[in-house]
């Protein structure tokens, strides 16, 4: 029971402090065991699965992680699994391994976001280097997701009027123009604007614009960016 409690405590640690985990999905039991031993020897945690469905039934990791994935699986192919999890596990880079040197498969996997494609037999050090690189990518993705969540939480704390003011501020309108748009006094706009800056934890228009762009990247307020520069 002690090892289980230790793992639970580890998952409660911040992602930067917890031991990264490497998921391995391959139907070759000897290869799974070999990769598991190699990963653990490198100081990382390992979770192995014989098929895609077993992996899909496992909860997503809350620590930096990556997936070492065989292309030819018995139930769901590696490429199909990659497509299934593409939008759900964006912080999990994929390293493909295969026994066949198929250029079209390699291209398809890489275009879909795989970080590496290795043909068996591969050098252990090459795989370890790929795993370490993937873990760093995962760590960066988790950090970015946490930052975005913090921004979204701050935005939720804004009142309806404060959101309206923020929307107009980042489009580049002056306080007087915002007052005209909303039908309120300019001094009221200034009060709301100050509240927006405080709640969003920014000190300048440039910072507010960058945050607004992260909240809605498809509507980057270019005019405001130019004024804030």
Q: According to the model, what pLDDT value does residue 56 have?
A: 92
pLDDT range class, residue 90, cuts 50, 70, 90 = confident
- Count the neighbouring beta carbons within 10 Å of the beta carbon of residue 229: 8
Residues 103 and 176 in one domain: no
- Count the neighbouring beta carbons within 10 Å of the beta carbon of residue 158: 17
Burial of 220 (0-12, 13-18, 19+ CB in 10 A): middle
Is a pLDDT exceeding 90 seen at residue 88?
A: no
The C-alpha atoms of residue 128 and residue 151 are separated, in whole angstroms, by 35
Tell whether omega for the bond before 134 is within 30 degrees of 0, i.e. cis: no
pLDDT range class, residue 218, cuts 50, 70, 90 = low
The C-alpha atoms of residue 145 and residue 114 are separated, in whole angstroms, by 20
Tokens of 96: 């493909």
Give pairs for 171-180: CB < 8 Å, separation 24+: 171/221, 171/223, 171/224, 172/221, 172/223, 172/224, 172/226, 172/227
pLDDT range class, residue 217, cuts 50, 70, 90 = low
**Mean pLDDT taken over the chain:** 85
Residues 113 and 174 in one domain: no
Is a pLDDT exceeding 70 seen at residue 42?
A: yes
Residues 141 and 171 in one domain: no
Residues 40 and 113 in one domain: yes
List the CATH number of the domain containing 31. Answer: 3.40.50.2300
- Of 112, 147, 182, the residue that ends a domain is 147
Q: 12-21, 65-74, 85-94 — which is least confidently predicted?
A: 12-21
154: left (phi over 0), alpha (psi -120 to 50) or beta: alpha
Q: Give the 3-state secondary structure of 16-44.
A: CCCCCEEEEECCCHHHHHHHHHHHHHCCC
Q: According to the model, what pLDDT value does residue 6 have?
A: 35
Cβ-based neighbours of 105, under 8 Å, separated by 6 or more: 71, 79, 98
List the CATH number of the domain containing 182. Answer: 1.10.10.10
How many domains does one find in the chain?
2
Cβ-based neighbours of 13, under 8 Å, separated by 6 or more: 63
Say if 68 falls within a structural domain: yes
Q: Quote the domain boundaries for residue 36.
A: 2-147
Q: According to the model, what pLDDT value does residue 43 have?
A: 94
Q: According to the model, what pLDDT value does residue 16 have?
A: 57
Tokens of 65: 């992680």
Residues 217 and 133 in one domain: no
Q: 128-142, 146-160, 203-217 — which is least confidently predicted?
A: 203-217
pLDDT range class, residue 224, cuts 50, 70, 90 = very low
Residues 35 and 125 in one domain: yes
- Of 117, 147, 177, the residue that ends a domain is 147
Is a pLDDT exceeding 50 seen at residue 229?
A: no
By C-alpha distance, which of 48, 46, 27 is closest to 38?
Answer: 46
- Of 113, 147, 181, the residue that ends a domain is 147
Say if 94 falls within a structural domain: yes
Residues 100 and 181 in one domain: no
Say if 73 falls within a structural domain: yes
Tokens of 164: 């309206």
Say if 152 falls within a structural domain: no
Cβ-based neighbours of 66, under 8 Å, separated by 6 or more: 20, 22, 23, 92, 93, 94, 95, 115, 131, 134, 135, 137, 138
Give per-residue pLDDT as tens, 181-190: 999 999 999 9
Give the global pTM: 0.74
Residues 212 and 121 in one domain: no
């Amino acid at each position: 029971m002690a090892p289980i409690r230790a793992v639970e405590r580890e998952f409660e640690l911040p992602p930067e402090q917890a031991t990264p985990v490497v998921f391995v999905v391959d139907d070759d039991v000897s290869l799974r065991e070999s990769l598991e031993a190699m990963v653990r020897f490198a100081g990382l945690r390992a979770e192995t699965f014989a098929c895609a469905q077993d992996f899909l039934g496992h909860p997503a990791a809350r620590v930096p992680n990556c997936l070492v994935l065989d292309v030819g699986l018995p139930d769901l192919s590696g490429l199909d699994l990659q497509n299934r999890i593409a939008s759900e596990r964006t912080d999990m880079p994929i390293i493909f391994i295969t026994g066949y040197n198929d250029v079209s498969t390699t291209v398809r996997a890489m275009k879909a976001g795989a970080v590496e494609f290795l043909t068996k037999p591969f050098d252990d050090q090459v795989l370890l280097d790929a795993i370490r690189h993937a873990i760093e990518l995962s760590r960066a993705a988790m950090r970015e997701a946490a930052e975005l969540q913090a921004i979204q939480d701050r935005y939720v704390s804004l009142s309806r009027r404060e959101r309206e003011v923020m929307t107009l501020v980042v489009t580049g309108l002056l306080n007087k123009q915002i007052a005209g748009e909303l039908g309120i006094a300019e001094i009221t706009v200034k009060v709301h604007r100050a509240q927006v800056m405080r709640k969003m934890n920014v000190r300048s228009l440039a910072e507010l614009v960058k945050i607004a762009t992260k909240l809605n990247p498809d509507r980057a307020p270019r005019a405001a960016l130019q004024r804030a520069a």
